[in-house]
Amino acid sequence: MKAVAFVLLWALLLCVAVEVAHVYYPRCPYDQLRCNAQCVVDGCLMGYCGGLDYKICKCLPVGCSGN
């Protein structure tokens, strides 16, 4: 039982660390997965982080509904 609680606690801490890193360092690759998933949900083929600072989610192909 203690081992399960230990593993769950470490998993929770890892999730919190990833979210904190996403807030303070909002660049790819953290945004890349979310951007790609959002573009696919919107009916596009794929998504990528773009712009001068890589903070803008862009969907491909250019004319799809996510743009």
Q: Is the preceding omega at residue 29 within 30 degrees of 0, hence cis?
A: yes
Domain ranges within the chain, ordered by starting residue: 2-60
What pLDDT is recorded for position 49? 84
8 Å CB contact between 57 and 38: yes
- pLDDT 10s digits, 21-53: 556 555 566 678 888 888 888 889 998 888 777
8 Å CB contact between 32 and 58: no
- Is pLDDT at 60 greater than 70 in this prediction? yes
**Whole-prediction pTM:** 0.51
- Is pLDDT at 8 greater than 80 in this prediction? no
Cα dihedral sign, 41-26-49-31: negative
